Amino acid sequence: MNFNRRAINTTTTALAVILIIVIIAFAAYAAIGVGKTTVTETETISTTVTGSATTATATVAVNECPGTNITLSSYTPPAGKISLTAGGSTFVNPIMQVWVAAYGNLTENEAAPVLINYAGVGSSSGQMGVLANTFAYAGSDAPLSASVLAGYKSSGPMLQIPEALGGVAIFYNIPGVSTNLNFTGPVLAAIWNGSITTWNDPRITALNPGATLPSATIVPVHRSDGSGTTYALSTYLATQSPSWASTIGVGTSINWPTSEESAKGSSGVAGLVSTTPDSIGYADSHYALSNNLLSADIQNAAGKYVAPTVAGFSAAAAAAASTLSTNATATIVNPPASAATAYPISTFTYFLVWANQSNEATAWALANFMNWVVTYGQSYSTGLNYSPLPPSTVTADQHLVSQINFNGQTFTCP
């Protein structure tokens, strides 16, 4: 019998390749655990948020565990749409709209697709909604205080899970000025408390020797609604100005001077500043950039003037890593001088969700969605001027998400 040596070599090679594939597959199977599969795909999501149109592209993973990303092995949700209503932070709204659209796309062909309606109504309204159980979860840039939560002990623990990392941008509309101005915390506090009233005040011109600033009256603009962005800014200004801390204070709603202009939502503040000469306002960096507003560089504790950038937000979070490992809601404003590149008005924004859920399918959907957001959902961050969560924060987040339960049953991979 004649044998074709080339055929034998080809067959041998093919068998070897198949064997290698089997070994690799088995190793991967063992590494990720029984029942876990990973499929990656690229999602391009286009969505419109108030004030801007947003497009984001990311490579995301689907079905890390059976169901969607995490599931309880003994539970499969009933077939049919699972609808969640949520609301809160306008700071997180741009990326939240992308997340809910992307997640809806990822689950639309499953037996139990998850559809989420999130309304950017402000952190205070979000907090009230989740406390009253009218929202399945809230987005909030300000964590709930222990004193508030003390009144809801019977409802079980409230999980406060960092979902996104960003910064509060300071922007302005000064006719004839097209440069990025420098500001310090004390000067910003003096502008918003009414101590500095004109753009050519010596305290501002001293920080900007190359700029020609007018004698025009400054028009400060602030949020009219309860806002986690206001909470982050006021927390920072309280570290910079003792008089601010004692007279205006810290909170989602504070004692603003009555003579100042105000607008609802981050987009409202950005819109008002863009149409009001000689005004100054604040919102997260996404709104400032999408409205083509000039953002200020803010002096940090190292004496450096830093722009609101993804790198600056990441540096601020990194400086607080040890604190965040034991307190996920610790503030990251005004990081120490050792964080030379940190942006000083950086902040996390949070999911607020009850650990104990009264509906099994809802609990399952919440755990799935939140686990996806803090892992694969972070792929959308940089394109929208947020910083991806640090790995240590993701680990802490997944521990918090694993506490979402129905009658004591949690929703983690088997």
Q: What are phi and psi of 149, to 5 degrees?
A: -65, -25
Do 39-166+351-410 and 167-346 agree at the fold level? yes
Cβ-based neighbours of 30, under 8 Å, separated by 6 or more = none
Residue with tokens 């000083």: 344
Write b or e for each residue in 181-190: b if 16 or more Cβ atoms lie within 10 A of its Cβ, otherwise e. bbbbbbbbbb
Q: Which DSSP category does 142 fall into?
A: S
Q: Which DSSP category does 144 fall into?
A: P
Q: Using CB atoms within 10 A of its CB, is residue 104 exposed (0-12), middle (13-18) or buried (19+)?
A: middle
Domain segments of the chain as ranges: 39-166+351-410, 167-346
Write b or e for each residue in 49-59: b if 16 or more Cβ atoms lie within 10 A of its Cβ, otherwise e. bbbbebebebe
Using an 8 Å Cβ cutoff, are 137 and 366 in contact? yes
For residue 52, the model assigns a pLDDT of 52
- What single letter denotes the amino acid at residue 104? G
Give dist(CA 131, CA 145) in Å, integer.
12
- What single letter denotes the amino acid at residue 8? I
Average pLDDT for runs of 10 along the chain of length 414: 37 39 33 36 53 52 41 73 96 96 94 96 95 97 91 88 97 96 98 98 97 97 94 97 96 94 93 96 87 92 97 96 90 96 97 96 94 94 94 91 90 53
Give dist(CA 160, CA 363) in Å, integer.
16
Give dist(CA 39, CA 314) in Å, integer.
29
Using an 8 Å Cβ cutoff, are 64 and 49 in contact? no
Alpha helices in 46-116 (DSSP H): 93-107
Looking at domain 39-166+351-410, which of 3.30.360.10, 1.10.10.10, 3.40.190.10, 3.90.245.10 is its CATH number?
A: 3.40.190.10
Cβ-based neighbours of 318, under 8 Å, separated by 6 or more = 339, 342, 390
Q: Provide CATH code, domain 167-346.
A: 3.40.190.10
Using an 8 Å Cβ cutoff, are 269 and 283 in contact? yes
* pTM: predicted TM-score of the whole model, two decimal places: 0.83
For residue 113, the model assigns a pLDDT of 95
Residue with tokens 């922007």: 171
For residue 6, the model assigns a pLDDT of 36
